[in-house]
Structure 1
């Protein structure tokens, strides 16, 4: 902007902001104008007006005015002595006219002019009115520029709400299709019980859901549009609802609770805000390739350790197969920023075929996360070998994208630790590739499993002891040691001797005082139970590490 303040000629005429510039000075509606000047003593306002103003100019001189016929949609502030000529010379303009009289001037009652003027009884100095209108345009311009910056930078909805609180001046909340809270006005207190419930519980109550479905969604026809809901027995304030549909899919629901200000002005401001919300929603929809389900936010929230009530988590996960699942693995696929959108969508579609379709893929911070789940209590259900070959077939060979994989875990609330495991496994893939190269003569790895990365992770500086503890607690050997303790058996000890004697069943049998066939039986049984092979040097090295941990804890 060339100037933030009016320019004046020698006669005292104000030329507005940056006179002669081709830029727009925001987009101020007639309703916004009325809201800004409602404290003035108004003698006349048009019965109806749909004007929008892109420029503002004040003319304090009663003797002369500047010719603004070259610019359309100008809002003038002037005295009544020059208003008549000003309106005639600028057919698309609109005037806020100051008068010393107690009644509306005769010229303002003519049909060609009465809908283009607001007449104000002047009780203050001219510049008091000028300052008020300047602020209206400047604040709107700054607000719209800031919102556009958020959209351009692919910002978050909560940031858009935060910078809009002063302009909207009322509580705003955004929920998803499951009526789960996504973002809200943190600087403005929820004005009513229903919205307090939403903030406290991260979702609407059953009464609110029913009201939205009956009064809003039933009437919008699967189209994004504004719906006005007046006050009723449950809500003392009217509200503006805006359900967002993208590709005919209901994605978000935005509400502005109209506690302060005129409905007409709030409507115009809210529509400005919603244009930016829809832009972010469209980008979100494309980025997630239509993957997002309402409860996916719970998984992302658990990963990010967001505050959520247990009731909320349980209610959202009840919509899935997760509560009935016995075990999980988490895969993390990292997308290159250069990878075309269409190719990413193909990867996501292919990910739905992993684990025979028993998966929940969802986006998190630009990565594709795939939660594998199984209702089976069989330890082989999500075996490392099975996941390795599955990723190789469906993702790695077709697209060349490798995964980081967590160990098996048994409580979905541990998904944050699993996400860290999968992320670390992918980040530390170099030493595992070197090991593959040394062992097998190639380093073409579709899935980097944390169980094989753990030994390298422990050798790094600053490793997380809680994550290491979690990893050992979910190992095969820890499970065998606990079963031995409960049943009075020594299977874990047998495997330890077997590994340390070159997998020689005869020598193992002599040392543990059992028949050779007993050793082979237990080894075969464990391989089948966990879908493992003691032929694998990777498995053996991890088991040796687990044994050292057990010996350190005196659990063997």
Structure 2
């Protein structure tokens, strides 16, 4: 309430005061409308710029920037860096703002790192730290009135934070925003990725496989929760599970290994844990390296699911085991390649960047062996070990020994036609991308009769 003693005519002042209160009323009504329409945090911040006039952003409990004012640019180097990296700077992370009790405003006066005063409020959902609402006082100075406006905004933002928490965090996925950035192929810096991976607990050498389950976390909440609980035991617990768009994803991870993420193991686990008890169909990517390739792996799972009926028809026609609700990108790859539509160059490189052949080739170069040539001729001669033995001047049993050793090491079965098709395709890409001199040396007579690890 404001009480004014009128001693002379000052209609202009009263008009300005009425206009200001009307503006505040319109602003708060707009914030309420955004909440009622299940809007976004960004919409909430942008709607507040006409009243607060300062640059603002929201960070989550892993220091990711999950929303910012889009109508006001970052006012200084500190805030530009925050937006460019998508994460708070190390100096800001070390500040005590992250350890404040609920409903306490953090005030930081101008300093060496920014010429503007800063305000921050910790956001708690059910007494659990969700993130922070932060503001740079770059246009409107820090006053008691500005703090009041900031508190109004913070109260209106909380319902949206609670909605995000229920939809994303309740499924035990505290790093959802990190993975969603990668899935959307957002521009991120190496520093940001390194910091986030450190908090998630994975390093640069980690290998991955992505599984997309056809269950929507938004519309099928209970079923998605069951799927996530079941999928959390895949790969001996080395998996991150979270909803994304209309799917529920499981990102398996492991230290470099030839067999831990094999398709044989994945199919068995998905059938036992997901398809048979819950009736949920899954699409599976190839094994890959580099967490920033997550969007490409997601594209592989969508292609596999998009061609699931075609894959099932092929399996039925070839008299193989009936499909059990698990569809591999490797089985869909040939259909994808013969599709006349344009192909993305980055995606095509990714599909053939992490293959068994590449590992065997590198080991042959290091050890002076010819396992890759043996593998090629075994496929080329239709798994006729006698023909391979004659071609490479080896004993037939030696050929079978090394082929079995390769299959066991990488956990695949060449009796599966789809496995043979994929290996032949990988060989064709290998021949296409390698120089003639390298191929000639690899298959030269000087390597014949020199298999790796003779019995």
Q: How high is the TM-score relative to the length of structure 2?
A: 0.83
1:118 corresponds to which residue?
Answer: 4
Any idea what SS the aligned residue of 2:318 has?
helix
Larger-gyration structure (1/2): 1
1:439 aligns with 2:323: no
Please say if 1:248 is aligned against 2:130.
Answer: no
1:420 equivalent among 275, 283, 299: 299
Distance 1:187 1:334, change over 3 A: same
Distance in 1 (alpha carbons) for counterparts of 2:364 and 2:41? 53
Q: Given the superposition, is the C-alpha separation of residues 532 and 136 from structure 1 closer, same or farther in structure 2, using an over 3 Å criterion?
A: same
Q: How does 1:136-155 map to 2 (within 5 A)?
A: 136=20, 138-155=22-39
Tell me the residue number matched to 1:172. 56
Check whether the contact 1:180–1:294 (CA below 8 A) recurs between aligned residues.
no
Q: CA deviation at 1:434?
A: 1.3
Question: Which deviations, in whole Å up to 9, do the C-alpha atoms of 1:120-149 show, x marking residues without a partner?
Answer: 55555x4x4575356435534543444344
Q: Distance in 1 between matches of 2:264 and 2:156?
A: 47
Q: Show the counterpart of 1:398.
A: 277
1:355 matched to 2:235: yes
CA RMSD of aligned residues (A): 3.1
- Structure 1 residue 229, shift from structure 2 partner: 2.9
Query: Could you say which residue in structure 2 is the equivalent of 1:163?
Result: 47
Partner of 1:7: none
Q: Structure 1: where are the runs of 5+ without partners?
A: 1-29, 31-44, 46-116
Q: CA deviation at 1:467?
A: 1.6
Aligned to 1:64: none
Q: Does residue 184 of structure 1 match 2:68? A: yes
Deviates most, 441-450 or 192-201: 192-201
1:286 aligns with 2:170: no
How far 1:457 moved relative to its partner?
0.8
The 3 A distance-change label for structure 1 pair 513 and 232 is closer
Q: Identify the match of residue 337 of structure 2 among 458, 464, 474.
A: 458
The partner residue of 2:194 within 314, 317, 327 is 314
Where structure 2 has 5 or more consecutive residues not aligned to the other structure, the ranges are 444-455
The equivalent of 1:430 in structure 2 is: 309
Contact 1:359–1:373 (CA under 8 A) maintained in structure 2: yes
Q: Distance in 2 between matches of 1:173 and 1:292?
A: 24
1:91-138 Cα offsets, whole Å, 9 max, x none, are xxxxxxxxxxxxxxxxxxxxxxxxxx32355555x4x45753564355
The within-5 A match list for 1:467-506 is 467-485=347-365, 487-506=367-386
Question: How much does 1:486 deviate?
Answer: 5.1
Partner of 1:275: 155
Mapped to 2, the partners of 1:430 and 1:387 lie a distance apart of 20
Quote the offset at 1:382 in angstroms.
Answer: 0.8
Return the structure number with greater relative CO, CA threshold 8 A, min gap 6.
Answer: 2
**Residue 533 of structure 1: how far off its partner (Å):** 0.8
Aligned with 2:391 (options 501, 511, 519): 511
Q: Is the partner of 1:243 in helix, strand or coil?
A: strand
Structure 1 residues 366 and 138: CA distance shift in structure 2, 3 A: farther
Deviations 1:481-508 (A, max 9, x none): 4444555544333333323433232233
Residue 203 of structure 2 aligns with which residue?
A: 323
Q: Is 1:217 the counterpart of 2:103 in the alignment? A: no
- Deviation at 1:257? 3.9
Could you tell me how far 1:437 is from its partner in structure 2?
A: 2.0
Per-residue deviation, residues 144-182 of structure 1 (Å, max 9, x unmatched): 444344334433322321222112212222112233322
Q: What is the TM-score with the length of structure 1 in the denominator?
A: 0.69
1:227 alignment partner in structure 2: 105
Cross-structure match for 1:410: 289
Give the secondary-structure state (helix, strand or coil) at the position aligned to 1:421.
helix
How many residues are matched? Answer: 433
User: 1: distance between equivalents of 2:177 and 2:76?
Assistant: 25
